[in-house]
C-alpha cells in the first residue's frame, strides 16, 4: 500500500479513537449528564495507555473501533476492551471506517508506542 494510504488509515484510526473517548463533545441534543452521585472515572479501555520508555514496553493489541477489530500499539499493561469501545460508539451513534493496518511491530517514539514502518507494509 502506498505510504500516503497508510498515513491516511492511521489518521482515520486516530480520529475514530478520539471520537470514541469519554471527553468527546456531544451534540446539543444529547442527554444531560446524570445529576449528583460519585464522579465516574474515565474508562481506560476507551483510551488505552500508549506511554513507554522502551520499545519492550509496547505491544500490538486489539483496541477496537466503531466497526470492530482495530489493532494498535499500546503499553503492554494497557487495559483494552474492544466491546466497550463498540458500545460507546452505539450509545453516541458513531460509525467507523472498516479496515486496519497490519502492524508487525511497535517501537517507543518520543514516549508513545508507535507502529514500526516496515519496508513492505500490508494493509487489510
The reported pLDDT for the residue numbered 119 is 56
H-helix or E-strand spanning residue 72: strand 71-75
pTM for this structure? 0.58
With beta carbons less than 8 A apart as the criterion, state whether 62 and 74 touch: no
Residues contacting residue 8 through CB under 8 Å, at least 6 positions apart: none
With beta carbons less than 8 A apart as the criterion, state whether 17 and 64 touch: no
Closest CA to 21 of 91, 115, 69, 106: 91
The reported pLDDT for the residue numbered 42 is 46
The reported pLDDT for the residue numbered 49 is 96
Q: What tens-digit pLDDT sequence spans the chain (124 residues)?
A: 444 444 444 454 555 455 444 444 444 444 444 443 333 334 566 789 999 999 999 999 999 988 888 999 999 999 999 999 989 999 998 887 788 889 999 999 999 999 997 654 444 4
Closest CA to 43 of 21, 64, 24: 21
What are the grid coordinates assigned to 14, written together? 486516530
What are the grid coordinates assigned to 13, written together? 484510526
What is the three-class DSSP state of 55? helix
CB atoms under 10 Å from CB of 101, counted, come to 20
What does the chain come to in residues? 124
Amino acid at each position: 500500500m502506498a505510504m500516503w494510504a497508510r498515513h491516511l488509515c492511521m489518521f482515520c484510526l486516530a480520529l475514530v479513537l478520539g471520537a470514541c473517548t469519554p471527553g468527546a463533545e456531544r451534540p446539543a441534543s444529547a442527554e444531560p449528564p446524570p445529576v449528583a452521585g460519585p464522579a465516574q472515572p474515565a474508562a481506560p479501555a476507551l483510551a488505552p495507555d500508549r506511554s513507554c520508555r522502551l520499545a519492550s514496553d509496547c505491544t500490538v493489541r486489539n483496541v477496537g473501533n466503531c466497526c470492530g477489530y482495530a489493532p494498535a500499539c499500546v503499553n503492554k499493561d494497557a487495559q483494552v476492551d474492544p466491546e466497550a469501545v463498540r458500545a460507546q460508539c452505539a450509545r453516541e451513534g458513531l460509525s467507523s471506517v472498516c479496515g486496519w493496518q497490519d502492524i508487525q511491530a511497535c517501537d517507543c517514539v518520543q514516549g508513545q508506542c508507535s507502529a514500526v514502518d516496515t519496508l513492505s507494509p500490508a494493509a487489510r
